[in-house]
Chains A and B, each alone.
Chain A
Amino acid sequence: MSDFKVTIRSRDNNIHVLELKGYLDAHTTPALEDSFQKMLNEKKYRLIVNCKELSYISSAGLGVFMAFIEDVRANDGDIKMSDMSPKVFNIFDLLGFPMLYDIVPAEEEAAKKFDMTK
């Protein structure tokens, strides 16, 4: 089992942060899926994914973001991402994610983006 962990914490303005740590690949995607599903079940739709300690993401991992984004946005929420290492950002960038998602350098900035939209 590869090492991967999701920690969830909440911020002001009903924003919830998913902190990803480790290696997100085919083995570990279920953990991220479960976390997103949990957020949706609890009707938490304003989500920031903090990738500060994310060391790798595979296509399946990226797929999880795609799998939930429509539901989240349908509920007036969003998934924003922050604090990516250049290596991880490169993968997101190669697959065209910046066109679909707000990817910002710092979590604070992502939180502010939520504030501006609401």
Chain B
Amino acid sequence: MNYNWDWGVFFKSTGIGSEIYLDWFVTGLGWTIAIAVCAWIIALLLGSILGVMRTVPNRWVSGFATAYVELFRNVPLLVQLFIWYFLVPDLLPENLQEWYKQDLNPTTSALISVVVCLGLFTAARVCEQVRTGIQALPRGQEAAARAMGFRLPQVYWNVLLPQAYRIIIPPLTSEFLNVFKNSSVASLIGLMELLAQTKQTAEFSANLFEAFTLATLIYFTLNMSLMLLMRMVEKKVSVPGLISVGGK
């Protein structure tokens, strides 16, 4: 068990085609970003709808949203992923099932499963943030809008949500970063995203410390840049005098 350090390993040939190990990392990063961004779009849309539903003055509507949040928050992500990947396709109608299991290429079906899974999983968390944001607003906002003759959808769309989103940008940022980190579970159903590529590099080259160090650096840089990006967004959309920006 002697270990040969070699930081140049990333520029060595993988032995497959003309690829070097660095190419694998680039491909993996691409997959990670693709999964996370697609899942985030679902999470943001669905989470916002659910968040609004939780604050609506109707017991059934808010009850449904609460049940959704509890369900998706109390089952581990990996169990949810297996359910979407192994179980749900079996429940589809026969012709859809055949299409999903046979006509689609395995990578595509795994990608669909993981994006849906992560999207719905994160939606529950986004929902809670949106709800917090709406409830943090002074009650007078809703009352004033109503008094001016806005209907309920207009109250939300024109008055409550634009303010709520601005308040919750920091916690939403951390959910956004979580999607990137959570997308690593895709490696367990065979998608070659960043973690899977790292593992493969470690196995092929036997330089596991170098491979995992690079992966860590990539995740770290990704995190930092997304955080800076979201700070810029926060500054850009802030309404002067309404909410203090930057926190610190």
Chains A and B come from one and the same complex: no
Q: Interface of B with A (CB < 8 Å)?
A: none
